Structure 1
Amino acid sequence: MTPASPAPAPEAATRPPGLRERKKLKTRLAIRQAAFALIREQGYDATTVERIAERADVSPSTVARYFPAKEDIVLTDAYEPLLEELVRRRPPDEPVPETLRWVLRHATALAPGEHPHREDLLLRVRLLAEVPAVRARLLESGSGTGRLMCRALAGRTGRDESDPEVRLYAMGLMGALLEAVALWAEGGCRDDLARLADRALDVLRDLPAARRS
């Protein structure tokens, strides 16, 4: 098993993402924004990867590199590339739910009562409900975010990412957060999404670190 990483220095725990990460995030956001704009204009089925690439001013191969399937553009959160890095920055003795609260706030710059991509989030929820291919891809992929979270949690707790407890915890976490988003959408997006996410994390206990031999 990989030993738990030492606690980062305070400045490392709050240091913003580097230039390379910001460039990747900018490209992913451009692709997602292009895809969502086209879906609103012409519907999901008529929106092709080629059209998305043209609108985002990138090549189809670049779209495929960031999103292996069109459905992944809908299912993958724009901030996922930062999550693993941010989780690893936190002190290893910090309870996992508290780490995740910090990561969610830091990665999305989510202020109370606001969401920077409210309309995109609503569209994602609607497509999950209405498009069978999107729902099927979610089941097929096993949630890319969940797998990413497994790696991050394994790294900070000294466990293996295939550890059943790590996998169950990560997927339970994703399910809880998705349900928080669903509750937010069902309430007409009037509630505080950050508060609902906090409530989802409140039901999770800490994930213990691996026992040292």
Structure 2
Amino acid sequence: MSADSKAPPAQAHTGVAIPRMGLRERKKERTRRTIRTEAMRLFLQQGYAETTVEQIAAAADVSPSTFFRYFPSKEQVAIADDLDPVMIRAVEAQPADLSPLRAFVRATVEVFDSLEPDDLEFEQQRMKLIYTVPELASVIARETERNVRMVAQLIADRTGRAADELEVRAFAGALIGAMSTTFDATSGIGLDMEKIKQVADFLESGMRL
């Protein structure tokens, strides 16, 4: 999970049910989605470094100034994770008797199982882009730390502990690090649900080798 803090609370690229939006919000969401879709198409077609903001704007039929109202940079188009708010809601909806680890695993499975094929493909392409494009290499460390903070807060809310406690942050770091191993950047295969379940069992066993 990773996100653009300016991403709207509504989904873009998920099939998960969301609160009803007004006409203006739906129009903004369509524009945002079009920008991201056209950007990804250009990234794959001609390369990330070779694609300019002006080209993305033209392909999305918007002005460059409109592009910047939705994304502060070309980099943000690639790294913005619209699944974050959906994942947060899914984790919060898990039964209280589930362990934090199982709550996260079940939420992840539910969210990715709910994606439409085109949306799942978009997420796979986005993840592959982040992990294989040299210009985006520095993003990974920043996104990892941001994800750790987000997961730590969710764990704190679920357990009644503080998000900055060592054990809470260690749990969040272990979870994010372990889940990242399920992604194969060379093949472009993203979060494999069977691998996620296997990783969860491994973590729960105390990581015995």
TM-score > 0.5, shorter chain as reference: yes
Match of 1:70 among 50, 71, 74: 74
Task: Give the structure, 1 or 2, with the largest relative contact order (CA under 8 Å, sep 6 or more).
Answer: 1
Structure 2 counterpart of 1:149, which letter?
Answer: V
Counterpart secondary structure, 1:181? coil
Distance 1:92 1:123, change over 3 A: closer
2 CA distance for matches of 1:159 and 1:27?
Answer: 40
The superposition leaves residues 107-157 of structure 1 with CA deviations (integer Å, 9 ceiling, x where unpaired) of 22269xx895347525632552341x3111222344433332222222111
Contact 2:148 2:176 in 1 (8 A): yes
Q: Give % identity.
A: 24
Q: What is the TM-score of this pair, normalised by structure 1?
A: 0.67
Counterpart secondary structure, 1:18? coil
1 CA distance for matches of 2:154 and 2:32?
Answer: 21
Q: What is the TM-score of this pair, normalised by structure 2?
A: 0.68
**What's 1:149 paired with?**
151
Shift of 1:39: 0.5
Structure 2 counterpart of 1:155, which letter?
Answer: D
Shift of 1:27: 6.0
Distance 1:27 1:96, change over 3 A: farther
**What's 2:165 paired with?**
163
Q: Say whether residues 1:60 and 2:67 are aligned partners.
A: yes
**What's 1:18 paired with?**
19
Counterpart secondary structure, 1:204? helix
Structure 2 unmatched runs, 5+: 1-15
Alignment of 1:19-58 (within 5 A): 19-20=20-21, 29-56=33-60
The superposition leaves residues 16-47 of structure 1 with CA deviations (integer Å, 9 ceiling, x where unpaired) of 43124x95876664443222101022211122
**What's 1:121 paired with?**
124
Q: How many residues align?
A: 182
